[in-house]
Chain A
Amino acid sequence: MLAFIIRRLLQSMIVMFFVAMVAFLMFNYVGDPVHQMVGIDTSHADREKLRVSLGLNDPVPIQFLRFMGNAAKFEFGISYQHKRSVTGLFKERLPATLELSFVAAFLSLAIGLPMGVYAGVKPDGWLSKIFLSFSLVGVSLPTFLIGILLIFIFAVILGWLPSYGRGEVIILGGWWSTGLLTPSGLKALIMPAITLGLFQLTLIMRLVRSEMLEVLRTDYIKFARARGLSNRAVYFGHALKNTLVPVITITGLQIGSIIAFAIITETVFQWPGMGLLFLQAIHNVDIPIMAAYLMLVAFFFVVINLIVDILYYVVDPRLRVDLGKANGS
């Protein structure tokens, strides 16, 4: 187990290293950081002073090490556009994105999984066909289109839900702003969460369905039937658990990409999260924010992947013993 996790950690670190390198290259070579930070009327000497103080004249490896060290502390300097510390900006925006992402992920799992099981068990049922057609729409339509359609129906025509923003938020623990505790905050969350979760929901549903179909064809399911087990025992006891390994993998990756897809949802709904911040940074070539966003998202991905790996281990006994043997010998 430990060896396994260490191996995974090492892999994660390689990913983080690659990403850090990309972020560093962006930071240093896309445009001139000094040029971005100062006004046009700053003298050449002042620029040079800033350059030295930023360490831009040091050898590249040293700069990279310094960048890595700062990144580990999540220090990315001052945003060119906002003239504020990037860390502070992210701290402000993080709760909005995480709340939205978690609610969307929860929705997609809680609805997608049962739908997928049903469609896999009864592939010819009319409800399954409806699910499948619905899923095709969900997979095909771009996120922003779904958001716009929802706004058009529920905000413009019906006027039931707010079309932008987070509603009223409450500050917890000094910095975490939550919209989950106020009626207007919850109301504001509904459409963005559906928009963000719909794609993952349909993906999870389709995956569970096809895995279910696959597993139901295996010998051990035939044998389970031949032993006279009830349908419930066959489907939920034997089949579902065997579909979990691939489902966990994809779901893990999907939850990761929810955070990235939040960029689009946040733009459509003007949701004050990191995604919106990142998009504005792209428009304004605000490199520190772009670099910080990249590192943060990579970090989330790596953590999620680790959790996924540990879940594998819990679900599949074969893995446990292979590892046990590897440890023992």
Chain B
Amino acid sequence: MNKILANTGSKKINSVMDVLKRFFDSDLFYSYRQSTVTIVASILTLLIFICSIGAPLIAPQNPFDMGSLDLMDSHIPPTWDEEGDARFLLGTDDQGRDLFSAILYGSRISLLVGFSSVIFALILGVGLGLISGYMGGTLDAVIMRVAEVQISFPAILIALLVDGVLRTMIPDADTEHLAISVLIFSIGISGWVQYARTVRSSTMVEKNKEYVQAARVIGIRPVLIMLRHILPNVMGPVLVIGTIHLAVAIVTEATLSFLGVGVPATQPSLGTLIRIGNDFLFSGEWWITIFPAIALAVLVLSVNLLGDWLRDALNPKLR
């Protein structure tokens, strides 16, 4: 008995090793290793992820805790400036917030909103795409017509509009704590079309293949066919779109926050920080806006580079 267990155990290890070996031997990993830029981008992305997740541990100060802020500390330039203060590596803003901590917490919110809206858009888009492609008929026509109308407008405009309308419909008292959910919804709803279109066309191809026909013949329910048989076959392109969409979602969030209709100033994201700092650009306090700007730029650029690489690596023809 033990022997058998050990055997299956080692078999499992072997198969894991196998998968790993195949991964390290794969074209995907090869193209990753070949591209220095991609390696740097993935390290930076990982670093930002870790820093933002671990913000409470890393950050010297909690910028959300109004109690710990001291107005006496406001407008302090970065440490290397003559008037800098060793406590505040990147200086402070007008409320005496440590910018380094604010950036850590800010990228946390940027990533949170980014990821959540991508997941929302992905689920919505993939779901509608599957239904549209598998069912066809009127439902398909309606979904695709809506998609067509929506795609003729830039996503940011849709997000801005949905966000604007939703905000007016929410009672003032709730605006603050619902702001992030509203934002996620708006950005998500502005991005579903691409997923839906891709999944729909792959679904239409897949559903005529024999294995799906066979599954139908033996009477498996459509929902199960879609989820178990078709979905795994259309996930490749969806992941690529998702990665690129993450960068777009982060940018959209930052833009909306910059325009003042995104996350509230009490829980600043990178975009909010840049908006706040923008007012001080002319008084020479450049660091308040430039540091969050650099953080945002690095984050978006890294994610974009990863998405680009993934797209090229998975589909060399698309280059």
Residues of chain A touching chain B, judged by Cβ–Cβ distance below 8 Å, are 14-15, 18-19, 26, 30-31, 136-137, 139-145, 148-149, 151-152, 156, 163, 210, 213, 253, 256-257, 260-261, 263-264, 267, 279, 282-283, 285, 287, 290, 294, 297-298, 301, 305
- Choose one: B160, B297, B319; the contact of A140 (CB below 8 Å): B297
Interface of A is mostly: helix
Could you tell me the distance in whole angstroms from the C-beta of B221 to the nearest C-beta in chain A? 34
Given the interface contacts A260-B157, A263-B259, does A148 sit within 8 Å of B289 by beta carbon? Answer: yes
Could you tell me the distance in whole angstroms from the C-beta of A132 to the nearest C-beta in chain B? 10
Residue of B nearest to A278 (CB): B160
Q: Are A301 and B152 in contact (CB under 8 A)?
A: yes
Residues of B65-89 whose CB lies within 8 A of A: none
Residues of B286-311 whose CB lies within 8 A of A: 286, 289-290, 293, 296-297, 300-301, 304-305, 308
Could you tell me the distance in whole angstroms from the C-beta of B249 to the nearest C-beta in chain A? 12
Residues of chain B touching chain A, judged by Cβ–Cβ distance below 8 Å, are 145-146, 148-149, 152-154, 156-157, 160-161, 163-165, 167-169, 247, 251, 254-255, 258-261, 274, 278, 281-282, 286, 289-290, 293, 296-297, 300-301, 304-305, 308, 318-319
- Choose one: A26, A143, A253; the contact of B152 (CB below 8 Å): A253
Could you tell me the distance in whole angstroms from the C-beta of A145 to the nearest C-beta in chain B? 5
Bound CA–CA A134/B169 (angstroms): 42
Q: Are B319 and A213 in contact (CB under 8 A)?
A: yes
Bound CA–CA A309/B138 (angstroms): 27
Bound CA–CA A30/B152 (angstroms): 24
CB-CB under 8 A from B289, the residues of chain A are 148, 152
Q: Which of A30, A140, A267, A301 has the most CB of B within 10 A?
A: A140
Bound CA–CA A282/B300 (angstroms): 27
- Choose one: A143, A148, A282, A285; the contact of B160 (CB below 8 Å): A282
Q: Are A148 and B157 in contact (CB under 8 A)?
A: no
Q: Are A152 and B301 in contact (CB under 8 A)?
A: no
Q: Are A152 and B281 in contact (CB under 8 A)?
A: yes
**Given A141-B301, A142-B255, A301-B152, 12 extra CB contacts under 8 A:** A18-B149, A30-B168, A136-B305, A140-B251, A142-B254, A156-B286, A253-B152, A257-B154, A257-B157, A263-B259, A287-B168, A297-B153
- Choose one: B153, B168, B297; the contact of A260 (CB below 8 Å): B153
Q: Are B319 and A297 in contact (CB under 8 A)?
A: no
Q: Are B149 and A264 in contact (CB under 8 A)?
A: no
Q: Are B165 and A136 in contact (CB under 8 A)?
A: no
Could you tell me the distance in whole angstroms from the C-beta of A255 to the nearest C-beta in chain B? 11
Could you tell me the distance in whole angstroms from the C-beta of A120 to the nearest C-beta in chain B? 11
Bound CA–CA A263/B256 (angstroms): 11
Given the interface contacts A145-B296, A263-B157, A283-B260, does A31 sit within 8 Å of B168 by beta carbon? Answer: yes
CB-CB under 8 A from B161, the residues of chain A are 290, 294
CB-CB under 8 A from B300, the residues of chain A are 140-142
Given the interface contacts A19-B149, A290-B164, does A145 sit within 8 Å of B259 by beta carbon? Answer: no
Residue of B nearest to A209 (CB): B319
Bound CA–CA A257/B154 (angstroms): 6
Could you tell me the distance in whole angstroms from the C-beta of A170 to the nearest C-beta in chain B? 28
Q: Are B160 and A145 in contact (CB under 8 A)?
A: no
Q: Which of A145, A257, A261 has the most CB of B within 10 A?
A: A145
Q: List 21 A-B contacts (CB under 8 A).
A: A18-B146, A18-B149, A26-B165, A140-B301, A141-B301, A142-B254, A142-B258, A144-B255, A156-B281, A257-B153, A257-B154, A257-B157, A260-B156, A261-B156, A263-B157, A264-B258, A267-B258, A279-B261, A282-B160, A282-B164, A297-B157
Bound CA–CA A254/B297 (angstroms): 22
CB-CB under 8 A from A253, the residues of chain B are 152
CB-CB under 8 A from A298, the residues of chain B are 153
Bound CA–CA A279/B297 (angstroms): 24
Q: Are A156 and B160 in contact (CB under 8 A)?
A: no
Could you tell me the distance in whole angstroms from the C-beta of A169 to the nearest C-beta in chain B? 23
Bound CA–CA A301/B146 (angstroms): 16
Given the interface contacts A144-B255, A263-B157, A267-B259, does A30 sit within 8 Å of B304 by beta carbon? Answer: no
Could you tell me the distance in whole angstroms from the C-beta of B102 to the nearest C-beta in chain A? 17
Residue of B nearest to A206 (CB): B308
CB-CB under 8 A from A210, the residues of chain B are 318-319
Q: Are B168 and A305 in contact (CB under 8 A)?
A: no
Given the interface contacts A148-B281, A152-B290, does A279 sit within 8 Å of B259 by beta carbon? Answer: yes
- Choose one: A26, A136, A145, A305; the contact of B293 (CB below 8 Å): A145
Q: Are A264 and B259 in contact (CB under 8 A)?
A: yes
CB-CB under 8 A from B153, the residues of chain A are 257, 260, 297-298, 301
Q: Are A139 and B304 in contact (CB under 8 A)?
A: yes
CB-CB under 8 A from B293, the residues of chain A are 145, 148-149
Could you tell me the distance in whole angstroms from the C-beta of A15 to the nearest C-beta in chain B? 5
CB-CB under 8 A from B258, the residues of chain A are 142, 144, 264, 267
- Counting from the closest, the 7 A-B pairs by CB-CB distance are A282-B164, A257-B154, A260-B157, A140-B304, A285-B168, A142-B251, A140-B301
Bound CA–CA A144/B160 (angstroms): 15
Residue of A nearest to B282 (CB): A156
CB-CB under 8 A from B146, the residues of chain A are 18
Q: Are A283 and B261 in contact (CB under 8 A)?
A: yes
Residue of B nearest to A123 (CB): B319
Q: Are A137 and B160 in contact (CB under 8 A)?
A: no
Could you tell me the distance in whole angstroms from the C-beta of A179 to the nearest C-beta in chain B? 22
Bound CA–CA A137/B319 (angstroms): 18
Q: Are B297 and A141 in contact (CB under 8 A)?
A: yes
Could you tell me the distance in whole angstroms from the C-beta of B67 to the nearest C-beta in chain A? 30
Could you tell me the distance in whole angstroms from the C-beta of B297 to the nearest C-beta in chain A? 6
CB-CB under 8 A from B259, the residues of chain A are 144, 263-264, 267, 279
CB-CB under 8 A from B261, the residues of chain A are 279, 282-283
Bound CA–CA A223/B289 (angstroms): 56
